[in-house]
Amino acid sequence: MNITTIEGIDILFVMAVGQEYGPRLRAMIDPLLTGVGPIEAALMTGTTLQRLHDRGQRPDLVISLGSAGSRRCAVGSIHQIGAVAWRDMDASRIGFTKGVTPFLDHPAAMPLPTPWPDLPVATLSTGANIVGGDDYAAIDADLVDMETFAVLRACQHFAVPMIGLRGVSDGPGELNEIHGWTARLGLLDTRLAAATERLDAKILRQAIEKATFFGQTSPTSMTRSE
């Protein structure tokens, strides 16, 4: 895993697994691969950012990218993420809004910068389940994935801005086997790479300037205790 520098801006690209990391992206970036799901994503992103911070190499920006499911957006389409929510968090029985982590100051849907001038914007729901069939009816978001919210929380912990970029791999019909997810990853590799190629200093600076840090822990968390 290496930091990618684009026009003087240091970027950590984050993806879940190698299946999403095709030849077009391999020619451009060397991402952190976290593994599948919110726990792996938060753990790997957080420990990596701490390690980079300790080395004086904390990135200017994190870009979380990969695949997503959807029944609202076309299969194969690419979207920048305007807001991301955590569908597993529900403390409503004790008075907290569904999706809000108790005792942290953040909205249910966390806003993200959308710096690409003409790339479609979508909302995203992160959770620990692979969504299919009737499950989509219960989710108030355009896309679903298993990592983005977790990556964002790790970034907020270290006050590192993040943007999200997702391609739709599945959604229509029922998803019964792994091939239903992997079949379009080659196409998404090409399209995610094309969006990544368009990153320039203007887009990246806009993303950094518009980042918010809801639910950030104390700034002292950025310094490891010895």
pLDDT per position as a tens digit, 151-202: 999 999 999 999 999 999 888 767 676 776 778 889 999 999 999 999 999 9
Give the model confidence (pLDDT) of 114-146 as tens digits. 999 999 999 999 999 988 888 888 899 999 999
In the chain, domain spans? 4-214
Give the model confidence (pLDDT) of 56-99 as tens digits. 999 999 999 999 999 999 999 999 999 999 999 999 999 999 99
Do the beta carbons of residue 15 and residue 21 sit within 8 Å? yes
Crossing angle of helices 38-54 and 148-157, in 10° steps, is 30
CA distance 30 to 14: 9
Q: Which CATH code, of 3.30.499.10, 3.40.50.300, 3.40.50.1580, 3.40.50.180, is assigned to 4-214?
A: 3.40.50.1580
CA distance 88 to 21: 26
User: E strands of 87-226, at which residues?
Assistant: 109-111, 121-126, 143-145, 162-170
